[in-house]
Structure 1
Amino acid sequence: MARNEQLIRQHKLLQLLELSRFGRTLEELRDDLVADLGLTKLHERTVRRDVEALQAAGFDIQNENVQRGRVFKLGQNTTDVHEIGISATELIALSIGRDLLFPLMGTQYWRGIESFWNKVQEAVPNGVFDHYARYRAALHVFGSPTKTYEKQEGMLKTINRAILEHRLVEIEYQSIGKPISTRKIEPYGLAVYQSSIYVVAAESGTESTGQRLRNWKLDRFHKALILDEYFRPDEDIDLSKYLGSSIGIFSGEASAQVKIRLSPRSAAYVREDPWHPDQGLEQETEDSFLLTVPASHPREILPKVLSLGADAEVLGPEEFRSTVAEAVSKMAERYPNVPPSP
């Protein structure tokens, strides 16, 4: 049994028990878990083992016999565990994190975030909340696209279930500028990057897992259908390493070390806002710096280099330099006979 599958199920169990004032029978808990997690089946024995595991972890889950059978509910000690003290600075930090996660609004993830936020608001003293409100009025979080994945909640549930059960998913996917195509994918996980959700998956039927793994943008899914076909996960895949191997979402097993010559002005910008944790920035001459940064695809380098204008030059690899040179050439054709700036 996958460890994360068990943890997700037990977390959902706690949510169900928290919402139940008069307790739930094992059968009721099982039915709710099947419905909320999108499972095909779940035995009551498994639910009982999960309840026992939570009790062993220190949660006060009590049971009693009532007319409809033996019910389980959270005791007072468990309620006390959830009561926390929070300061104004902690409240500010929490609210900023909540703002950054707005793209998850409408999904199962957001419901947990919003439920916790509401409890915090109710728990803090009025004076602390007033202090927080004054500070928060002077601090604004912006720059993230205003979009949510509320309409894709059903697809997210399907994909989550496929990740837990290692099952193939048939999708209708439309890349930008291309027609809709039907694909089969082997999903490994989800990633949130710049307010967009991506499904990290390998396309079924292709060779070499390292080359197959890619990030599929959820916005481009038209349909997701879980299949009664299973895949064997590659134990050598480390999603944290995979996703951190490049600048942006164009991640992969084999990233290139891209070398870019920068002016002192551009180097200062890159020093202030690094492109990658493993980048290197060294001074070459009095008027130039050399930036070395890992990247998996020329398209993730292109917008960053173009944003620096003539103050940045890609030196290599050749594929990355050629991509930027081609873009610059086509842009120059768009602006013929434009006099240079004074």
Structure 2
Amino acid sequence: MERIERIHALHRILTASRYPVTVQRLQQELECSRATVYRDLAYLRDYLMAPVIGNGEAGFRYDANEGDRFELPGLWLSSDELHALLAAQQLLARSGGGMLSTALAPLQQRVEKLLDEHAGGRRMPVERVRVVPHRTRRLDEAAFRVVATSVLDRRRLAFEYRARSTDEATRRNVSPQRLTHYRDNWYLDAWDHDRDALRSFAVDRISGARLLEEAARDETDEQLDRHLASSYGIFSGEPKGWATIVFSAKAARWVADEHWHSQQQGRFLPDGRYELKVPYSNGRELLMDVLHYGADAQILEPPVLREQARALLSLALSQYDR
């Protein structure tokens, strides 16, 4: 019996029982271990807010004053779980007509069945919940397949890369490490053999991708995390310092609930503004996110990042003086 079936069965048992139900009886009816019974009771009480009372000796029941009013919620997925299921469902739906459509059909049916089960047995109108891509870039599917193959087959990869920052085209010979999906776009984390360093490449800027016969060099997870995930955003590396940004009281209502970095530090100031500190290596992406808030954000530290923001704002303002 799957967990969702056990929870529904447990709810029915407790609803129908006038007296406490022993753990032994719950084990028999739910066909599970004693530890599983306790986990399901805790989930029902703590996560679904059911009025479960009792203990392992006397048994468990619903509080007589609240049990009649309690119902299992129609949807009890977390936001991350719902997003993952809906994203998978909509992605599978968009793949129709391709070579994967037949192979993935059972998976799509399973996802839709799972969504329906979590809706309390009713059909979930998934069309009323949307997963909207944001700033998705055009991607060469042929290049993506070669890149993904190199990552999974652990083979070196050669390609031409045209960086957006310089528009310069260079040939790269790399050992792929990870394929990362970030902000609706794909990036390749790889060891660049010509530069003898770890680099991240936007897959949509890769062309002429070609698998090589040599096996890829493997970097440790610790080294990859330290270099690629320890600082702010996809343009990461060893942190060079911390940035301090102060947001207006108006913007604070948004920023205080946002996750910018795993090591971020935030606090409300006495006047209602919000101070956020994040580690960073390359300031490009951090500046883009800060400038997104316009006049509601101000970089205080470090001075060099503050000056870069001032220069960008001055340049933007000059576009309106013509």
| Bin of the TM-score, shorter chain as denominator length | 0.5 to 0.7
Residue 200 of structure 1: CA displacement?
Answer: 0.4
Alpha carbons 2:116, 2:124 under 8 Å: kept: no
Q: Which residue in 1 is equivalent to 2:183? A: 194
Alpha carbons 2:246, 2:299 under 8 Å: kept: yes
Separation in structure 1 between the aligned mates of residue 276 and residue 206 of structure 2, nearest angstrom: 36
Q: Which residue in 2 is equivalent to 1:138? A: 128
**Gap change, CA 1:297 and 1:123, over 3 Å in 2:** closer
Q: Which residue in 1 is equivalent to 2:173? A: 184
Which of the numbers 137, 142, 155 marks the counterpart of 1:167? 155
- Matches of residues 1-342 of structure 1 in structure 2 within 5 Å? 95-98=85-88, 115-121=106-112, 131-134=122-125, 136-145=126-135, 149=139, 151-152=140-141, 154-164=142-152, 166-176=154-164, 178-207=167-196, 212-235=197-220, 237-240=222-225, 242-286=227-271, 288-336=273-321
Separation in structure 1 between the aligned mates of residue 191 and residue 297 of structure 2, nearest angstrom: 35
Alpha carbons 2:182, 2:234 under 8 Å: kept: yes
Residue 105 of structure 1: CA displacement?
Answer: 5.2
TM-score by length of 2: 0.62
Comparing 250-259 and 161-170, the one that deviates more:
161-170
Alpha carbons 1:103, 1:147 under 8 Å: kept: no
Separation in structure 2 between the aligned mates of residue 125 and residue 314 of structure 1, nearest angstrom: 47
TM-score by length of 1: 0.59
- Specify which structure has the higher proportion of helix: 1
SS class of match (2:256): helix
Consecutive unaligned residues in structure 2, runs of 5 or more: 1-73
**Gap change, CA 1:288 and 1:195, over 3 Å in 2:** closer
SS class of match (2:174): strand
Separation in structure 1 between the aligned mates of residue 216 and residue 301 of structure 2, nearest angstrom: 38
Give the alignment's Cα RMSD to 1 decimal: 3.9
**Gap change, CA 1:121 and 1:297, over 3 Å in 2:** same
Amino acid at match of 1:276: H
Q: Which residue in 2 is equivalent to 1:24? A: none
**Gap change, CA 1:130 and 1:92, over 3 Å in 2:** farther
**Gap change, CA 1:170 and 1:126, over 3 Å in 2:** closer
1:137-160 deviation line (CA, Å, top 9, x unaligned): 4323325346675x42x4344334
Alpha carbons 1:191, 1:200 under 8 Å: kept: yes
Aligned residues: 244
Consecutive unaligned residues in structure 1, runs of 5 or more: 1-86, 338-342
Q: Sequence identity, in percent? A: 24
Alpha carbons 1:96, 1:141 under 8 Å: kept: yes
Amino acid at match of 1:155: A
Alpha carbons 1:105, 1:148 under 8 Å: kept: no
SS class of match (1:225): strand
**Gap change, CA 1:98 and 1:113, over 3 Å in 2:** farther
SS class of match (2:304): helix
Alpha carbons 2:242, 2:278 under 8 Å: kept: yes
Separation in structure 2 between the aligned mates of residue 272 and residue 291 of structure 1, nearest angstrom: 11
